[in-house]
Amino acid sequence: MSQAIHFGTSGWRGIIADDFTFAGVRRASAAIAGHLCATKKSPVLIVGYDTRFFSEDFARASASVLRERGCRVLMCREATPTPAIAHAVIYGKLDGAVNITASHNPAAYNGLKFSGPDGGPALPEITKDIEKRAAALKDDFASPAHDEQPASFESIDPRGPYFKQLHKMIRFDVLGRSKGIFVYDALHGCGAGWLDRILKEDGVSVFPIRTDRDVLFDGSGPDPSDEKMPSLKKIVVEQHALAGLATDGDADRFGIIDRDGSFVSPNHILGLLFDYLLETRGYKLGASRSVATTQLLDAVAQLHGGQVYETPVGFKYVGPLLREGKISLGGEESAGMTIRGHLPEKDGILACLLVAEMIAARQASLSDQLHDLFRRVGREYWPMRLNLHLPPDIQARLPERLGADFGEFAGRRIARTNRIDGVKLIFENGDWLLMRASGTEPVIRIYAEASSPAESRKLAAAAQAWVNG
């Protein structure tokens, strides 16, 4: 029996050779071709891939099936960032893209993202149709030996148009006045040769690290999180750098290190950038954030007279708000961000460039900028997240427990409950707590935000005890 293919918050992912197989990639690709060819003759798709183990081979298998099933395929010449692929779809007015990547997941994983003609992640109604079509197919495709070689496909190099787009979004004249160096950590992902290259081409001093391909990602995975970047922190301090900039495996997420070597939460970066964009771009628009993302964005919106739109977790919900002209920034706490006039897809390269521009413009550390922002909005916001790997019995009964009514939690009265995605408990003083199942990994995530790190930790610990109880 064929294994089920399920598209979570950001594509279909699984452990290589266990959940994520060549047979599955072929079946998913055939289902995508069926979905597209049902409404258009000879749809045109980009097929891209990241630097993971077997990614180019999985891409070749996908491209072979797509072409066999009636699609015209444009194959990326090299490992290519997700945002560059998204821009190529829009720039070329194509019908979508298949991208072989597991983003920031550990090295054992790979995955498949499908994007529509707007360059953004496919919406749930589309991925459900693809899942249904894949379930009806058998794993009776040709062996890998029959896959077409890359040279047999039309090729595409999205770099030039994507860099041109970044020059529209970033004030490189301001960035060029930065008095110091930036360190860039590619985490062995496909941002290497992209973020560092555009900085160098525009005369910005950059010190790149981990730009070579390593399918084991130093044994830690290409996740630009606090605990995964000790080398970046060390080099930032040693180089007396203005900041450390990092992107994940497919360069759609960002990680930022301040000049003192401390990690800056993606939530805080989103708040700072939203405030900076409103000050410098003349935007009169609000922002969107997922239910799991800091309400610092709400405070910044209120400061500037804007509005915040709350969405479920998943960047696919940002695209419609961008197209409708409602937001100047769309962000998620998991280090995903885009801005007005750019892509309906996460762009870690753009985020890092904006941070660098903001530092150059304000001539202040990120810590100093954050505390100034807290002063201006009149409150501090300290979010945190826990990932819980639960025993099967606890995980099985958790949905029923989360469905219960909550009048109070950990001795605190609840002002309102939000069930957009998981269960979010908002307390009377504005602190909040969210419990939800991950859409990309077999874990339960706990999010908490309070006016001090200690209070956030206390809320998260109470939630962990409740989940395990």
In 3D space, the residue among 289, 328, 449 whose CA is nearest the CA of residue 298 turns out to be 289
Name the region of 411 (left: φ>0; alpha: ψ -120 to 50; beta: rest). left
Instruction: Please report, to the nearest 10 degrees, the dihedral formed by the alpha carbons of residues 109, 187, 157, 16 taken in order.
Output: -10
Question: From the CB of residue 20, how many other CB atoms can be counted at a distance below 10 Å?
Answer: 24
Report the pLDDT value the prediction gives residue 394, as an integer from 0 to 100.
Answer: 83
Report the pLDDT value the prediction gives residue 123, as an integer from 0 to 100.
Answer: 87
CA distances from 248 to 34, 217, 340 (A): 31, 10, 22
Report domain 382-468's class.
alpha beta
CB neighbour list of residue 371: distance below 8 Å, 6 or more residues apart = none
Q: Which two tokens stand for residue 101?
A: 């990547």
Say which residue the tokens 């300290």 belong to: 382
CA distances from 35 to 51, 118, 123, 134, 141 (A): 28, 16, 13, 10, 18
Q: Convert 349-379 to b/e letters by CB count within 10 Å (16 or more is b).
A: bbbbbbbbbbbbbbeebbeebbeebbeebee
Say which residue the tokens 């040769």 belong to: 193
In 3D space, the residue among 169, 24, 40, 60 whose CA is nearest the CA of residue 116 turns out to be 40
Superfamily of domain 12-157: Alpha-D-Glucose-1,6-Bisphosphate, subunit A, domain 3 (3.40.120.10)
CATH entry 3.40.120.10 includes domain 161-377: yes
Averages of pLDDT over each 10 residues, the chain, 469 residues: 77 93 95 96 97 96 95 97 98 98 95 95 92 89 65 92 98 94 98 98 97 95 95 98 98 98 98 97 93 97 96 90 94 96 96 98 98 98 92 83 88 94 94 85 88 96 91
CA distances from 152 to 81, 88, 131, 404 (A): 22, 20, 29, 57
How far apart CA 244 and CA 230 sit, in angstroms, is 11
How far apart CA 103 and CA 60 sit, in angstroms, is 19
Cβ(120)–Cβ(318) below 8 Å = yes
Q: Which two tokens stand for residue 132?
A: 């249904």
Give the residues across from 447 on adjacent strands: 385, 434
Instruction: Please report, to the nearest 10 degrees, the dihedral formed by the alpha carbons of residues 269, 317, 113, 191 taken in order.
Output: -20
Report the pLDDT value the prediction gives residue 144, as an integer from 0 to 100.
Answer: 65
Max CA distance (Å), the chain? 65
Question: From the CB of residue 98, how many other CB atoms can be counted at a distance below 10 Å?
Answer: 28
In 3D space, the residue among 175, 182, 16, 7 whose CA is nearest the CA of residue 98 turns out to be 7
Report the pLDDT value the prediction gives residue 214, as an integer from 0 to 100.
Answer: 97
Q: Which two tokens stand for residue 261?
A: 């070597």
Report the pLDDT value the prediction gives residue 142, as an integer from 0 to 100.
Answer: 65
CB neighbour list of residue 169: distance below 8 Å, 6 or more residues apart = 339, 341, 342, 350, 353, 354
Amino acid in position 124? P
Domain locations along the chain: 12-157, 161-377, 382-468
CATH fold match for the domains 161-377 and 382-468: no
Say which residue the tokens 């079946």 belong to: 27
Dihedral sign of CA atoms 347, 352, 353, 355 in order: positive
